[in-house]
Structure 1
Amino acid sequence: MSARPAQFQAGTSAVPATQVEISVKCRGLRDLDTFSKSDPMCVMFTKDVKSGQFYEYGRTETIQDNLNPDFVKKFVINYFFEESQKLKFELYDVDSKSAKLSDHDFLGRMECTLGEVVAAGGDFQRPLIGQGKNCGKIICRAEELGNCKEVIHLQMKGSQLDKKDFFGKSDPYLDFTVVHRTEVIKNTLNPTWAPFRATARALCNGDYDSPDLIGEFSTNLRELTRGPGPTNAYEVSLLTCRVEQEYSFLDYIQSGDKLFPALGFGARFPDMSVQHEFALNFTPQNPYCNGIQGVLGAYNNAIKSVQLYGPTNFAPCINHVAKFAATKRDGSCYFVLLIITDGVISDMPQTMQAIVNFVPFREFSQRYGNSSVAVAQAALAREVLAEIPEQVTSYMKMNGFLPRQPSSHAPSAPPPGNKLISLQII
């Protein structure tokens, strides 16, 4: 739940443009060669959601005679926040030039999700599973591509431009466009460049009748950043030029400390009282759990200490989170309320009133027609989650909040300004 949630519209989420580059290294691989060390190669697989099968995505180079390889080849893959993208890494000792993996000795494998690697914010380490007890470990790191995050803000004005209209003045506009840049041909005054392909939309937005050219000038970004002055006076003059950093969703989530407040509802305590809003770790002053494992641990401990009990009332927890989120407007937290339940909602009118931006599930049911409810529910989950990256970055930019530097050790409680995303687990 964000402090200023945007209106949700089913099916309107933008396709993410986040590409990440995964680097891989291993330590302590098994030695399967008799007179030398193993010659490892790493193969990455992605899992197809429909078939449930893993398919090869790419391979690294083979590093000769090395049990602690740092592979140079990187895997570039699109990151979708709203999907669980299953990955599998397999290590092989390459024994020949054969492209068939079965012709090489298997060293070990590791399965995870791309989200886990991205969320690590640094090295993501897991043991390799294979024959034998100790097959070594694999270390993956995901880095966002396109590290240039500078956005240039320009304003320019024209002065004494040519009159192009017969009965009136010109209707000027300024166009900054690079459609295609050819290759450089050395040492010639009569170059013939290679053919290239461009869409009509990129060339002229589909308009085959070009407008009248009033004038043109050339400059560069370094010159523009010097600001208004004689060197930035052309047929148009520079009024302002400002450079600012444009941070991505990954910049923000990788700076979080992975602490999650978790609440429970509908439980009867040993004193026979029934509560619909309590800290899952029974520490109301600090309901934060360390990572998903911490949430699961708190849940497993809670169900041994209380009795699940009706009625199922959601409104107290929803209102609690809403009030808590309203007090955190310094950019340190961004709240997402996740409710997990298999019970019947007892306070439906109050719950609907508490949820201000109601997500229209009926639109997904109509769109998927005769598909199963599970398919429509999965589509709904993807659409809702797909809204989060844009909401987070828009909210942070609107309020001028910058990403925090990720810390190597998570504190026991969330200090102000050190945690970006807080997930409320009910």
Structure 2
Amino acid sequence: MHAYFNILQVNFPCINQSKKAKKKKYENSGIVHLTSYRSEKQVSFLEFIYGGMQINFTVGIDFTASNGDPRSSSSLHYINPYQPNDYMQAIRAVGAVCQDYDTDKLFPVLGFGAQIPPNMQTSFEFAVNFNHQNPYCAGKFTQIRLYGPTNVAPIIYHVARFAEAAQKEEPTKGAAAYYVLLLLTDGAITDLDDTIAAIIYASRLPMSLIIVGVGDADFTAMNFLDGDNGVLRSNKGDMAVRDIVQFVPFREFKTVSATELARHVLAEVPQQVVRYYQMRQIAPKPRPS
């Protein structure tokens, strides 16, 4: 939020005290002429939340074969009745926080990289419960076959379509809906160029992408996608308009509390929300009385 003010010109002499002490005829080293100033109000993430903005949280899970056979205790998808696996720990930690900003507290859960029924064709965008109309509950892993490759662009575009629809309603609804995709994967992305293009596309929308690296793979490419060290650029020269990616290697936080994990995973989302609406010049709605 900006406000510009024109004022009567005010002059400020620039005084160098050393020169003034040495030269009797010294008056100043120049004059600063103030003709206008800008007042800027900084808004916060909580102002958007208090104004009724909803965080729509979607989970994307890697079901490629590199995770290992879910029936084996060495698999990243193994269901241990006494200890949640890495995927489950990450989802629970982040979901526990995100649900407080979502009225229905229901999260779509999508999978990618598996062969799914009835024809056992490889899919990179499927509801884990096989119900695309209502993808909000746990699925049965026994119905799918872990396969590959690790293509994540389709699932990013899937969520981006909802974010784009929300953006089109902003002229009438204002800051009403923002989308966060939590993407959990165990390995290097195989459609990197397409993923970069998808992220650049999503950077213009009310959307953030959190990538949690599960397991001990080389996640160098993930750090590249996290635009903290520069602007993400596609091989066609397109650039992201803002940073929307946060990458967290789960192995570095396995021993911390769920609260601490969630803090690291969600650290950048509030500022990403604020920057998006500043870019769109949309102010928070008034807090209901």
Provide TM-score, normalisation by structure 2.
0.42
- TM-score, structure 1 as length reference: 0.31
Structure with larger Rg? 1
